[in-house]
Amino acid sequence: MAKKEEIIEAAKKTAKKVAVKAAEKALEAAEVVVDKAAKAVKEATTPVITPEMAKIPAGPLELKWTNYKNHQKLVNPANKRRLDIIVVGTGLAGASAAASLAEMGFNVLNFCIQDSPRRAHSIAAQGGINAAKNYQNDGDSVYRLYYDTIKGGDYRAREANVYRLAEVSNNIIDQCVAQGVPFAREYGGLLDNRSFGGAQVSRTFYAKGQTGQQLLLGAYSALSRQIGKGKVKMYTRYEMLDIVLIKDENGEKRARGIIARNLVTGRIERFFAHAVVVGSGGYGNTFFLSTNAMASNGSAAMQMYRHGALFANPCYAQIHPTCIPKHGDFQSKLTLMSESLRNDGRIWVPKKLEDAKRLQAGEIKGRDIPEEDRDYYLERRYPAFGNLVPRDVASRAAKERCDKGYGVNNTGLAVFLDFSDAIQRLGKDVVAQKYGNLFQMYEKIVDENPYENPMMIFPAIHYTMGGIWVDYELQTTVKGLFCIGEANFSDHGANRLGASALMQGLADGYFVLPYTIQNYLSDQIGVPRMSTDLPEFAEAEKAVQDKIDKLMAIQGKRSVDSIHKELGLIMWDFVGMGRTAEGLKEGIKKIDAIKKEFWTNVYIPGEANSLNNELEKALRLADFIEIGRLMAVDALHREESCGGHFREEYQTPEGEALRQDDKFAYVGCWKYMGEDQEPQLIKEPLDYEFTERKTRNYKN
């Protein structure tokens, strides 16, 4: 009897288990269906930016810019004198824009964080600037530069913008030569060129390894002329902390000024203008360790974003393959070894794991490995482009070798960049003439002679392709607010080709904005100068002051840098070179925790109303935390791999990036929905009219 009951009991238990399992399965299936339905609803209700909204001119690709210029509205010289423009930034984008707008007759107020416009981050640019001059007669053309850029960006850039960029590239070289920029010349006196990644022609103009410095000195001389004439009022050591919007007679908000902090006195000040142009650079320092200048930040971008400007493709960040590897926990900066070195330098790791181990243990040096035991993996995998594959491809290939254990350096996180072949072929003197300052820099940092032993390099965060969304006129979604240079979402799609950032910054500042901003300002000629006593200015200033007071009051236990370092590690581990859905979700949680830690436990010494470097850094870190999150959210939503955005779930069997053109051929723009609210996705479809999308191929 007892047995029968036991059997019944057991049967009941089994039935219950089966029923529970079945219910669980049904629930799971229902959840998948609900998830899919929610996704479909989201998809169907996601707002879309049309080509008309992006103001892309009609007509054939090669005539769009000409047509635009022929029909845009102009501002006559007398009216230009009545209009004020604020330009934030004195990098190549800001300085060229400020100088050009003043030369045209507008009154310009130009701001920068550094103590001289010449100290903007652009001065660090090393390798060169692209232009389709075809001086080498090697088959280059405007179309080819356009095509290489579109392809290099993994078909995620706007066709019309990229074509315009290629078109004006040649004007930039003429302009800079006229300014006296000392570009390298060949023996006969003609301008020299070298090659950069993603191109099979030599189209890069350069000034040793200091191209950014020389270009910036050119722009600075043009700017100085206007400062001297009183057309540019220069505000050095000022940091914009907010943008002021004022409603027009139709109730539409327009950018009418900024709130800035005098970094020397700590005073908060108000400035009016008829339009605001922001050229504040990229947000790579979100990762703490990057090749960017220490003052590079994403705060100006976040101020625009909070006022309704869309943040486009935040997850597109460039990891540069040739940087000096990290050497300790107390480092605050990484150093770039210019891509130009890949013209003559060959990248390799040992073929044998035991050699890699001996290198890591410091028992042997790179020069001790015989030729037959070296794996020139880029030449092996990508015969057509070899060492000059684009940066995203080269970085991933280095990671792949290091992940498999073939990396060198004591950490195993480095590969060799070797000039022994070039020295044999060209002689040490020629190599020194071309790259001498870079070799010297390497030796100073690593304490090893790169002429005698191959350099060690490793990928590092370097540039951000994402940024503030702008239309064809470089105007954001906020009227009267323009964004130029690296700060905008730019023309580079998901990956920027080497030597194309300087080209874009100067194109924006010298040759695009000076036209397009007039189309906006022509309607503003009747707007009088406004008083900075208006309530909108007072409110904006109060909000800035409140934020500073809140930060100063925390008086916690952690330095700004210690929290920033932690954020950087999270970014590198979860939002870095290889991303996964699981990792990104984890990363977002960790970033949220960092935000809490920052706002409760940061320690800022000193006073707010005087020079206070820690306060400056804290204000920037508050925004880096938000940007880091936005990058992760964007990376999570983009279920494909393209350019610098590599989702490990989406790769070919050979480990190459796998795009999903049917689902993600759009610019992912994010709209701010309020503090601690999830941002809203808005799409700008990239319907290619003139170019066929292909799988990127650098093999043959």
245 DSSP assignment: E
Sole window of 368-376, 377-385, 498-506, 591-599 interacting with ligand FAD (rule: CB under 6 A): 498-506
- Written as one string, the DSSP assignment of 309-332 is PPEE-TT-EEEEEEEPPP--TT--
Report residue 670 as tokens: 């994010």
Contact between 590 and ligand FAD per CB under 6 A: no
Asked whether 167 and 141 are in contact (CB, 8 A), the reply is: no
Among 120, 302, 681, 682, binds ligand FAD (CB under 6 A): 120
Q: How far is the CB of 322 from ligand FAD (least distance, A)?
A: 11
State the number of binding residues for ligand FAD (CB under 6 A): 45
Choice between 124 and 517, CB closer to ligand FAD? 124
Between CA 253 and CA 259 the distance in angstroms is 17
Choice between 57 and 498, CB closer to ligand FAD? 498
Q: How far is the CB of 65 from ligand FAD (least distance, A)?
A: 21
Sole window of 238-246, 265-273, 437-445, 529-537 interacting with ligand FAD (rule: CB under 6 A): 238-246
Is 391 part of the annotated catalytic residue set? yes
69, 94, 309, 441 from 538: Cα distances, Å? 39, 27, 22, 48
Sole window of 384-392, 409-417, 484-492, 541-549 interacting with ligand FAD (rule: CB under 6 A): 484-492
Asked whether 602 and 660 are in contact (CB, 8 A), the reply is: no
Choice between 126 and 495, CB closer to ligand FAD? 126
Q: How far is the CB of 678 from ligand FAD (least distance, A)?
A: 26
Choice between 49 and 129, CB closer to ligand FAD? 129
28, 117, 500 from 145: Cα distances, Å? 50, 30, 10
Contact between 240 and ligand FAD per CB under 6 A: yes
Q: Which of residues 166-225 bind ligand FAD (CB under 6 A)?
A: 211-212
Choice between 153 and 350, CB closer to ligand FAD? 153
The count of C-alpha atoms lying within 13 angstroms of the C-alpha of 104, restricted to the half-sphere facing its C-beta, is 25
Contact between 668 and ligand FAD per CB under 6 A: no
- Name the residue type at position 606: G
Between CA 16 and CA 27 the distance in angstroms is 16
Q: Which of residues 632-651 bind ligand FAD (CB under 6 A)?
A: none
Sole window of 52-60, 296-304, 466-474, 513-521 interacting with ligand FAD (rule: CB under 6 A): 296-304
Q: How far is the CB of 120 from ligand FAD (least distance, A)?
A: 3
Contact between 57 and ligand FAD per CB under 6 A: no
What SS3 class is residue 333? coil
Of 403, 397, 342, 391, nearest to 375 by C-alpha is: 397
Q: How far is the CB of 416 from ligand FAD (least distance, A)?
A: 21
By beta-carbon distance, which residue lies closest to ligand FAD?
A: 91
Asked whether 529 and 117 are in contact (CB, 8 A), the reply is: no
Instruction: Say how many C-beta atoms besides its own lie within 10 A of residue 501's C-beta.
Output: 28
Report residue 63 as tokens: 């005539």
Q: How far is the CB of 449 from ligand FAD (least distance, A)?
A: 22
Choice between 49 and 216, CB closer to ligand FAD? 216
The H or E element containing residue 108 is: strand 107-111
N residues, the chain = 700
Q: How far is the CB of 351 from ligand FAD (least distance, A)?
A: 32
Among 57, 198, 279, 314, binds ligand FAD (CB under 6 A): 279
Choice between 117 and 366, CB closer to ligand FAD? 117
Contact between 89 and ligand FAD per CB under 6 A: yes
Choice between 185 and 585, CB closer to ligand FAD? 185
- Name the residue type at position 56: I
Q: How far is the CB of 460 from ligand FAD (least distance, A)?
A: 10
Between CA 679 and CA 699 the distance in angstroms is 39
Contact between 111 and ligand FAD per CB under 6 A: yes
Q: How far is the CB of 669 from ligand FAD (least distance, A)?
A: 20
Task: Specify burial of residue 236 (Cβ count, 10 A radius: 0-12, 13-18, 19+).
Answer: middle
Contact between 299 and ligand FAD per CB under 6 A: yes
Catalytic residue among 156, 346, 391, 629: 391
Among 325, 454, 485, 644, binds ligand FAD (CB under 6 A): 485
Choice between 113 and 160, CB closer to ligand FAD? 113
Choice between 164 and 659, CB closer to ligand FAD? 164
Q: Which of residues 443-462 bind ligand FAD (CB under 6 A)?
A: 462
Choice between 485 and 628, CB closer to ligand FAD? 485
Asked whether 364 and 358 are in contact (CB, 8 A), the reply is: yes
Among 56, 82, 94, 619, binds ligand FAD (CB under 6 A): 94
Helix axes 581-601, 535-554, angle to 10 degrees: 90
Among 161, 195, 226, 292, binds ligand FAD (CB under 6 A): 292
Contact between 112 and ligand FAD per CB under 6 A: yes
Residue indicated by tokens 């700590």: 266
Choice between 111 and 672, CB closer to ligand FAD? 111
Residue indicated by tokens 């200033």: 541
Contact between 153 and ligand FAD per CB under 6 A: no
328, 623, 687 from 566: Cα distances, Å? 15, 15, 40
| Phi–psi pair at 19, nearest 5 degrees | -65, -45
Sole window of 235-243, 404-412, 532-540, 597-605 interacting with ligand FAD (rule: CB under 6 A): 235-243
Of 420, 441, 264, nearest to 348 by C-alpha is: 420
61 DSSP assignment: G
Among 54, 101, 109, 124, binds ligand FAD (CB under 6 A): 124
Among 91, 153, 480, 576, binds ligand FAD (CB under 6 A): 91
> ∠191-485-178 over CA atoms, to 5°?
30
Task: Specify burial of residue 21 (Cβ count, 10 A radius: 0-12, 13-18, 19+).
Answer: exposed
Q: How far is the CB of 490 from ligand FAD (least distance, A)?
A: 9
Please give the radius of gyration of the chain, using alpha carbons only, rounded to the nearest integer: 27
327, 494, 564, 679 from 572: Cα distances, Å? 16, 18, 12, 23
6, 102, 304, 524, 616 from 257: Cα distances, Å? 82, 18, 12, 14, 21
Report residue 168 as tokens: 């004006």
Contact between 507 and ligand FAD per CB under 6 A: no
Contact between 502 and ligand FAD per CB under 6 A: yes
Report residue 582 as tokens: 């699981």
Site string for ligand FAD, 327-356 (x = CB under 6 A): ---------x--------------------
- Written as one string, the DSSP assignment of 519-577 is HHHTT-TTPPPPPTTSHHHHHHHHHHHHHHHHHHHH--SB-HHHHHHHHHHHHHHHSSS
Sole window of 26-34, 232-240, 526-534, 597-605 interacting with ligand FAD (rule: CB under 6 A): 232-240
Residues with active-site annotation? 391
Binding site for ligand FAD (CB under 6 A): 88-94, 111-114, 120-122, 124-129, 211-212, 238-240, 279-281, 291-292, 296-297, 299-300, 336, 462-463, 485-487, 499-502, 505
